[in-house]
A = this chain, B = another copy of it.
Amino acid sequence: MVLSSRQLLILQVIIDEFIQSAQPIGSRAISKKEGISYSPATIRNEMADLEELGYLEKTHSSSGRIPSEKGYRFYVDHMLLPFHLSEKDQKLISAVFDYEYVDFEQVVQKSVEVLSDLTNYTSIILGPEVFEARLKQLQIIQLSKTSAVAILVTNKGHVEHRSFTIPAEISGSDLEKLVNILNEKFYNIPIIQLHSRMQVEIGNILNSYITNVNLALKYLHGALFSQQPDNYYMSGMTNMLLQPEFNDVEKVHSIYSIIEKEDLMIDLLRATEQGLKISIGQENKIDEMQDLSLIKATYSLSGEQLGTIALLGPKRMDYSRVVSLINLLSNQMSKTFTDW
């Protein structure tokens, strides 16, 4: 069953209007729209058909129509017009990349903010995946007899650091030796392999130099990897409060309880495929996200996928503008990172 062009037109008008107003749309309102030359009665017939096909819904038996999830899906798949971003939008986005002293974190932080500001939705970005980077330098700086900072720098400029107390069994000079050997031996290996190779490859070598090798390794490892790196950035959570569909504290709370579960969101965002993906309502598979849409796009460095940038808002989202914004932003991010 394929839709007639008139049905398409009416569907489009209803979705566009509903995205604007958040109110059910009636036949009379549609017939008065520019570009529509049918009477309300005709439109009512078409709406009834569209409803039967599953693209529209009613809130009650004599209400106007609102888009169903299937309607949104169709809209997103087949009716998304290329949106022309305003000068202002474009400027605000490029401003993110205009700074002299920049690093990944700063750019990502600014990106997530500009995205939530421009859309009035909640924006989330997964930062560059540290473990894909390679070891540039490892360092231990002793602060006192019993405490030190371990610092790890990757070839992509990411820095991880952690303070720790030096156990009595390990001397400062032993730690230093350990670090020297690790730096020499493991320069430029992927961080993700560091853990396993630390155990396997150098235990023997070190035994001759250092007492308590295992303890020292354990400590060093604990210091560096005890916490997952914070590459999760979110902005505009309160924007949810502005959406009329969430004008009830109950709903807000249920949504926030999901958004706050960082692990869950990371799982949700971690992109499988390159490119842009839209999940509408129940497509998200999570009860609390039934009324939400998630739009995510990947960004990359020299073609290699680096992270995900995403937007969370009501199903009634301004998809066409939002998609343009995300595309522009993710492309700019990719470009900037690759240029460095």
The residues of A with any CB-CB pair to B shorter than 8 Å are: 100-104, 106, 136-137, 139, 141, 143-144, 146-147, 149, 151, 153, 155-157, 159, 161-165, 219, 222-223, 226-227, 237-238, 241-242, 246-249, 252-253, 256-257, 260, 340
Contact = CB atoms under 8 A, between A and B. Distances in A.
A237 B252 CA distance: 12
A161 B160 CA distance: 9
A16 B60 CA distance: 46
Name which of A141, A163, A242, A256 has the most chain B CB atoms within 10 A of its CB.
Answer: A163
Contacts of A157: 143, 147, 149, 163
Contacts of A137: 141
B100 A222 contact: yes
Given A143-B155, A159-B161, 18 more contacts: A101-B163, A101-B219, A101-B226, A102-B163, A103-B163, A136-B141, A136-B143, A137-B141, A143-B156, A146-B340, A149-B159, A151-B159, A157-B163, A238-B253, A238-B257, A241-B256, A242-B253, A247-B249
Contacts of A247: 249
B151 A153 contact: yes
Contacts of A238: 253, 256-257, 260
Number of copies of chain A assembled together: 2
A153 B149 contact: yes
A60 B163 CA distance: 57
Contacts of A253: 238, 241-242
A165 B107 CA distance: 14
Chain A interface, DSSP helix/strand/loop, else mixed: mixed
Contacts of A147: 157, 340
A249 B141 CA distance: 49
A253 B252 CA distance: 11
A114 B201 CA distance: 40
A136 B149 CA distance: 11
A18 B31 CA distance: 56
A205 to B, nearest CB: 25
Contacts of A248: 249
**Which 9 residue pairs of A and B lie closest in terms of their CB atoms, listed nearest first?**
A103-B163, A157-B163, A159-B161, A101-B164, A238-B256, A241-B253, A101-B222, A247-B249, A141-B153
B249 A106 contact: no
13 contacts: A100-B164, A100-B165, A101-B163, A103-B149, A103-B162, A103-B163, A104-B163, A143-B157, A144-B340, A149-B153, A149-B157, A238-B260, A246-B249
Contacts of A155: 143
A339 to B, nearest CB: 10
A101 B227 CA distance: 10
Contacts of A241: 249, 252-253, 256
A237 B159 CA distance: 29
A33 B249 CA distance: 33
A249 B101 CA distance: 40
